Amino acid sequence: MAHNNRQATAPACDPQYFPVVTGADLLNDPRSNKGTGFTERERDELKLRGLLPPRVFTLEQQAARIMENYRRQPTDLDKYIFLGALQDRNETLFYRTVLDHVEEMVPIIYTPTVGEACKKFAHIFRRARGLYVTAKDAGRVEELLRNWPERDVAVIVVTDGERILGLGDLGANGMGIPIGKLALYSVCAGVPPERCLPIMLDVGTGNEDFRRDPLYLGTAEPRITGPAYDTLVEEFVQATQTVFPKAIIQFEDFANRNAIPLLKKYRDRVCCFNDDIQGTAAVALAGVYAAVKIQRKQLVDQTFLFLGAGSAATGIADLLVAAMRADGLPEQEARRRCWLVDSTGLVVHGRDRLASHKLPYAHDHAFAADFLSSVQTIKPTAIIGVSGQAKTFTREVLEAMASINDTPIVFALSNPTSKAECTAEEAYRWTNGTAVFAGGSPFAPVTVGGRTFVPGQGNNVYIFPGVGLGVMGSGAKRVTEKMFLAAARALADKVDDDHLAEGRIYPPLSDIRDVSVAVAASVARVADHGGELQGLPERELESRLRSLMYVPSYVMK
């Protein structure tokens, strides 16, 4: 049950503040429950006397107990389950603990551990979180959305589960993705948890193993496609505009066949974006901005070769083109700097049946059948992996990149770790320590030739929470390309010379709230009809945005 007067966001000086419920009901309400943190006075006034152990603990003491038990968990999946249980009983303690240990816990509540959690979601399920909209709900989606107890929703993350990370169609098990993403909105950018809504569009699944699993939670039928699918999505989008008119919609982990058309259809109609396309693009562009500083070159000096030609690849390429155009390069020349390799080979003019999203990057060139020959022919300065195919940046590929470039850029962005095109150690060792590397998942530091490199993680968490905060704060009606360009630049500006000296092209996650505020400020600055925030001096703008951020703490009486 959610309440309007949240303990963690109520003013500490408000003597009138009380939770709505009392007694055992209060202890079962994760939004208001403090557990052993309730004071002596609160235990009397809220009918908690005797329902708790007698000693009162501070939030910090409770967090210490959580960390002791968390670190005792034998596997990352066990840690994920442990944190989920904490979120279900005491949200304030959950967010305080994660925020204080963000570098340690983000890989647990999101990538890479969330991939394993989604595969096993039906078997580790404890408590429902978010909304499930099924094909059978067609015609009454608005009614279903009104069942959600909060009305002032700021961010909706929605998936249909068809392309979860690099793991394929996980159906309703993909609900772990919206849940995890929205936890990061609250941790990293302070979007209040009660203003976050995870939604699963359960339209069936193509995964036969799940359909045969007696414990599978979703619709155990083949996935609907075509007009029936399009009609349901349209009804859903329209219903959100009526029920949650202030919300930004984040499309997450839709398959290419739907992701690109849905973004094209709705981006100019409602306040929405696709994180796999636009968030990934912005974090990749930010990494490139930082990498070229290490090279002592410019963005317009680069040639990019992508392994993978889906929505993520073309999304990154489109934003790179926009950035190069902003730096003065003509559009056609900028597109010529971006090349794609798909499952057939190099994308070039003359190939049959190319998908429409690949056509802008189909250049006049001889066909190359594999990635290595494409590297040898195109001679890129940067390779970007978004293929979902592990170990495809082979030793031969990386040695070729090192022979072509003094400082090759190597981004192996596929998630989870098991799908990475190469590891950080492979990238550094097979280029003799010359590569500028980023992965989609975290990798440990690597020492090569007496030098220790700190691998960057091209994690969308650096972008999407700040974008959400910027849109929420400015009241922007649309999410635009220039917002992501500005967000990428703001993120790159957070990488200082000390970071670059380590080979790090993203700031440490411990700085994530400062990063998110900088990203949010950049978004608010360029928002169309962005309201009064646009006219504020930088320091005041950031201060106003910080004032909107949820800070997990107890209001004590």
Q: Could you tell me the CATH number of the domain that includes residue 425?
A: 3.40.50.720
Residue of 294, 309, 498, 287 whose CA lies nearest to 405: 294
In a domain, 399, yes or no: yes
CB 301, CB 381: distance < 8 Å: yes
The domain that contains 52 carries what CATH number?
A: 1.20.1370.30
Contacts of 384 (CB under 8 A, 6+ apart): 284, 304, 305, 306, 307, 313, 316, 411, 413
- Regarding whether 472 and 447 lie in a shared domain, the answer is no
Report the run of H or E that residue 81 belongs to, with start and end: helix 76-89
Q: Is position 248 within any domain? A: yes
pLDDT for the residue numbered 537: 87
The pLDDT of residue 538: 87
Residue 530: what pLDDT?
58
Do 175 and 113 sit in the same domain of this protein? yes
Residues 353 and 456 in one domain: yes
Report which of 551, 493, 496, 548 is spatially closest to residue 522, judged by C-alpha positions: 493
Q: Is 470 contained in some domain?
A: yes
Per-residue model confidence (pLDDT) at position 528: 78
As a whole number of angstroms, the distance between CA 354 and CA 344 comes to 10
Cβ neighbours for 75, distance < 8 A, ≥ 6 positions apart: none
Residue count (the chain): 557
How far out from the chain centre does Cα 165 lie? Answer: 11
- For every one of its 557 residues, what pLDDT tens digit does the chain have, with 9 covering 90 and above? 333 334 444 433 343 445 568 999 999 999 999 999 999 999 999 999 999 999 999 999 999 999 999 999 999 999 999 999 999 999 999 999 999 999 999 999 999 999 999 999 999 999 999 999 999 999 999 999 999 999 999 999 999 999 999 899 999 999 999 999 999 999 999 999 999 999 999 999 999 999 999 999 999 999 999 999 999 999 999 999 999 999 999 999 999 999 999 999 999 999 999 999 999 999 999 999 999 999 999 999 999 999 999 999 999 999 999 999 999 999 999 999 999 999 999 999 989 989 999 999 999 999 999 999 999 999 999 999 999 999 999 999 999 999 999 999 999 999 999 999 999 999 999 999 999 999 999 999 999 999 999 999 999 999 999 999 999 999 999 999 999 999 999 999 999 999 999 999 999 999 999 999 999 999 999 997 656 777 788 899 999 999 999 999 998 76
Indicate whether 317 and 442 sit together in one domain.
Answer: yes
Contacts of 208 (CB under 8 A, 6+ apart): none
Give residue for tokens 């994660």: 98
The pLDDT value recorded for residue 16 is 42
| pLDDT at position 5 | 37
Confidence at residue 346, expressed as pLDDT on a 0 to 100 scale: 98
Residues 346 and 388 in one domain: yes
Cβ neighbours of residue 33 closer than 8 Å, sequence gap 6 or more: 26, 27, 89, 90, 91
Sole residue written with tokens 């040639």:
303
What does the pLDDT read at residue 166? 87
Same structural domain for residues 265 and 133? yes
Q: Give the Cα-Cα-Cα angle 159, 163, 165 (nearest 5 degrees).
A: 95
In 10 A of CB 366, how many CB atoms?
Answer: 9
10 found inside a domain: no
Residue 468's Cβ-side half-sphere holds a number of Cα atoms within 13 Å equal to 37
Both 199 and 262 in one domain: the answer is: yes
CATH code, 225: 3.40.50.10380
- Residue 7 covered by a domain: no
What is each CA distance from 272 to 110, 153, 335, 449, in whole angstroms?
A: 22, 14, 26, 46
In this prediction, residue 15 carries a pLDDT of: 38
Residues that are catalytic: 110, 181
Determine, yes or no, domain membership for 557. Answer: no
- What tokens appear for 124 in the block? 């580790």
Q: Are residues 83 and 113 in the same domain?
A: no
Task: Please enumerate in sequence order all residues whose Cβ is within 8 A of that of 451, keeping only pairs 6 or more positions apart, or say none.
Answer: 433
- Classify residue 11: in a domain, yes or no: no
Residues 66, 74: Cα–Cα separation, whole Å: 15
- The number of distinct structural domains making up the chain is 4
Kindly give, in sequence order, each residue whose CB lies less than 8 Å from that of residue 143, ignoring residues fewer than 6 positions away: none
Q: How many angstroms separate the Cα of 351 from the Cα of each of 194, 311, 420, 528? A: 50, 19, 28, 40
Domain co-membership, 93 together with 112: no
305: nearest Cα among 256, 253, 340, 355 = 340
Domain boundary among 224, 248, 270: 270
| Cα distance from N-terminal residue to C-terminal residue, the chain | 23
Say if residue 431 is in the same domain as residue 491. Answer: no
Final residue in a domain of this structure, among 103, 133, 163: 103
> Distance between CA atoms of 80 and 102, rounded to whole angstroms?
14
Distance from chain centroid for Cα 364: 35
Tell me, yes or no, whether 63 and 169 share the same domain. Answer: no
**378 and 248 within one domain:** no
- 17-26: burial string, b at 16+ Cβ within 10 Å, e else: ebbebeeeeb
Among 103, 121, 147, the domain boundary falls at 103
Domain coverage including residue 66: 23-103
Is residue 99 a contact partner of residue 187, using CB atoms and an 8 Å limit?
yes
The C-alpha R_g of the chain, in whole angstroms, comes to 24
Q: Residue 323 falls within a domain, yes or no?
A: yes
